[in-house]
Amino acid sequence: MSANKENNLVQAYVELNKFCQSGEYERALKASGKILQIAPTEQKAFHCKIICLIQLHNFKEALGAITNPKNAGLASDLVFEKAYTQYRLNCPKDALETVDNASELTPALKELRAQILYRLEQYQECYNLYREIVKNSTDEYEDERKTNMSAVVANLAELNPNADLPQFEETTYELSYNVGTTLALRGKYNEALPVLKKAEQLCSESVIDDGGTEEEAKEEAAIIRVQQAYCQQQMGKEKEATSIYQNVLKDKPSDQALVAIASNNLAVINRDANVFDSRKRMKAATQEGLEHKLNSRQKASITYNQAILAIYSNQPEFCKQCCVKLSREMKQEQRATLVQASSMLKEGQAEQAVSLLLQGSLTLAAAHVLLSQGDRKAAIKLLEESEYKYRPGVIGVLCTLLTADNEHERASRLFTEVYQHYKNDEEQVRNLRAVWRAAADCHSRAGDSAAAARAHETLVRAAPGDKRTLARLVKALVAHPEKARRLAADLPPIAQLEGKIDIEALESSKWMMGAKVVKKTVQSKQEQSPGTPGSELGQKKKEKRKRKTKLPLNADLSKPPDPERWLPKYERTAYRKRRGIRRDVIKGSQGMTTTAVDQYDMSKQTPTPAAAAKSPRVEAPKSTESAWQRKQQQKKKGKGRKW
């Protein structure tokens, strides 16, 4: 290499170092390119170029330079940079393959591998790797590692709520948030809420202490408040949750995933009440760019809610598309089948819905559809042939349906089969006491006293100290008096039971009429019966309190009150009618003559004898002069006219 070329190379390296130290990555990128023009085999300059591209978020260009065959020799040691660019370009499987093919798993590659495993939702392997990293690392990034590990633990708690997982000290708001999320995913919402509120407070204090504004602190704590709203929504406090979701969305956060989750949860709260608002929310929850920011569980929930909203919106074709996506891409076959069957049922395709549910092995849902359509016989047949036949809930449904159809013998045979199924499992026999009690009742209705006695014996064996069950068994053994007497010896004596019963109260009360009728009868008897002598002495008759009369301020008590003070003004003797006001006006067509007016003036009509007989009312004599005639006379005298 010539001296001039070497000097240029040294000068270029000096510039590159200067720009890298000051963080001017665009100028550093140009300096590294200048070095590679002078000396194309400079590996350090190529490494600096890749780092500058990564810092400038040009991941695609950086990966292209690394994978270029011309740069094979220069990029041979850049395994971490290659895997990191693949990870940032949302190719986690390729990134994991690159890390696993590395000759040596360095600490940096271990941490990158843990993040890749988290993205691939391989939480157990990710947790094991983080535990190893935290155990063997002592540097300034210890809090960040614990935060990532607590996030992994939160997801493990959702997959296995009863798993024994480590506890973390709530030293930072990120750790507090992850601890609260772990409790929420385990279903402990009451315990999660105070932890999340503490995390929100720590977050605001941390941002303000670092020189941030209140707006920045509010935006940073938005994800914590959304998690609080989720806990309240799961606890049934939907109004409080809705208020938090709306306040968060009103601030327009920059995190797309946060907007999607809050919008989806609002649509869930709306149900079928506000479909227009729900469609707007689901549009925000399904916008482009979210496929790499949400995990598979969140994406499946959004797609599922989108399908349900399509049913509310009367969009069966779109609902079918969502179900196909839910089944094929997200492996949620049963949920997709249930939603599609609901859509068919709403469209009136009950038979197709039942066949679809049976294809998906959803027998209980198919029986529910048949019962909703009123086809009880088909539902009974389906439940009797299902694998859930001997479960307590299904037994209860079958017993109810068969009893409603008066098929007591068939119901009795059903309980006999149930007894044969569980006879070798003593623990299950003890747990099914309600089933045996129903079986005894059903056998009694069917007239099978032996089967009823056997059911009572099973109940006595399951609950040895229950005297009531023993009494029922004695009653069922009427056909076997000796055995009944032997069992009755364990019952309490009749005298002991009689001492607890008030026979006179039972005889006096009309217990067949109901408690309310008895209470009314007793009260009426008490009101009608005369009191004992002297009982009135201790009771005083309640007197009405006399209120003091209030007089006007200018009242003159020396003069008698006006006798017409309670009459309306227009009925008093001193009342003078105001001029120009027509009170009694007979309305008629224009041009009506006085004769016509008299004809329709009922005061001038003489009643016929038949009408007089029909209305025997006594009325005061009225003036024969009508109001219209009085007005005409006033006009003749010149009163009320204005010239």
141 or 195, higher pLDDT: 195
* Confidence at 92, pLDDT banded by 50, 70, 90: very high
Percentage of the residues of the chain whose pLDDT score is greater than 90: 42
What distance in Å separates the CA atoms of residue 351 and residue 44, rounded to the nearest whole number? 71
Q: Enumerate residues 6+ apart whose C-beta is below 8 A from 104.
A: none
Confidence at 611, pLDDT banded by 50, 70, 90 = very low
DSSP state of 514: -
Under 8 Å between Cβ of 395 and 435: yes
Give the Cα separation of 1 and 619 in Å (integer): 140
User: Helices (H) and strands (E) in the chain — how many of each?
Assistant: 35, 0
pLDDT value of position 524: 53
What are the start-end ranges of the H helices in 477-540?
Answer: 481-488, 494-498, 503-508, 515-528
Cα–Cα distance, 14 to 393 (Å, whole number): 80
Confidence at residue 280, expressed as pLDDT on a 0 to 100 scale: 93
Q: What is the mean pLDDT of residues 581-597?
A: 51
For the record, the structure tokens of 93 come out as 């499987």
* pLDDT for 640: 44
Question: Environment class of residue 444 by beta-carbon count within 10 Å: exposed (0-12), middle (13-18) or buried (19+)?
Answer: buried
- What is the DSSP track for 551-607? PPTT--TTSPPPTTTTS-GGGSTT--PPTT---S-----TT--HHHHHHH-GGGPPP
Q: Which CATH architecture has domain 389-499?
A: Alpha Horseshoe (1.25)
One-letter amino acid at 518 equals: V
Hey, what are 237's tokens? 């406090």
Mean pLDDT of 450-456: 79
Provide the pLDDT confidence category of residue 325 given band limits of 50, 70 and 90.
very high
150-192: per-residue pLDDT in tens? Answer: 999 999 888 887 778 888 888 889 999 999 999 999 889 999 9
Look up residue 515 and give its two tokens: 């408690």
Q: Does 639 have pLDDT greater than 50? A: no
C-alpha distance across the termini of the chain, in Å: 129
Q: Are 123 and 155 in contact (CB under 8 A)?
A: yes
Give yes or no for a contact between 302 and 264, defined as CB atoms under 8 angstroms apart: yes
Query: Amino acid identity of 585?
Result: V
The distance from CA 101 to its chain's CA centroid, rounded to whole angstroms, is 48
pTM: 0.69
Q: Residue 614: what pLDDT?
A: 42
> Cβ distance 249 to 263 under 8 Å?
yes
Contact criterion met (CB below 8 Å) for 315 and 350: no
Residue 39 has pLDDT above 90, yes or no: no
Contacts of 51 (CB under 8 A, 6+ apart): 81
What is the C-alpha to C-alpha distance for residues 101 and 107, in angstroms, rounded to an integer?
15
pLDDT value, residue 370: 93
Query: What is the length of the chain?
Result: 643
CA atoms within 13 A on the CB side of 142: 10
- Averaged pLDDT of the chain: 82
Single-letter residue type at 380: I
pLDDT at residue 530 is higher than 80: no
User: Residue 85's pLDDT is what?
Assistant: 95
Count of CB atoms within 10 A of residue 318's CB?
A: 16
Q: Write the CA distances from 419 to 383, 398, 442, 448, integer angstroms.
A: 17, 15, 13, 15
For the chain, give every domain's residue range.
389-499
Kindly calculate the radius of gyration of the chain based on its CA atoms and give it in whole angstroms. Answer: 46
- The answer to whether residue 276 scores a pLDDT higher than 60 is yes
Cα–Cα distance measured from residue 502 to residue 505, given in angstroms and rounded to the nearest whole number: 5
Q: Tell whether the torsion through CA atoms of 39, 44, 48 and 50 is positive or negative.
A: positive
Is the pLDDT at 354 greater than 60? The verdict is yes
Report whether 624 contacts 603 (CB < 8 A).
yes
| pLDDT value for 24 | 92
Listed in sequence order, the residues at least 6 apart from 155 whose beta carbon sits closer than 8 Å to its beta carbon are: 121, 123, 185, 295
Residues contacting residue 377 through CB under 8 Å, at least 6 positions apart: none
- Side-chain half-sphere of 171: how many Cα atoms within 13 Å? 9
Write down the pLDDT at residue 166. Answer: 85
- The pair of structure tokens assigned to 547 is 């209120």
pLDDT exceeds 60 at position 567: yes
d(CA 124, CA 33): 43
Place 618 in a pLDDT band, splitting at 50, 70 and 90.
very low
Q: Cβ(264)–Cβ(305) under 8 Å?
A: yes
DSSP alpha helix (H) spans, 423-480? 426-431, 433-446, 449-462, 467-476
Q: What is the pLDDT of residue 143?
A: 85
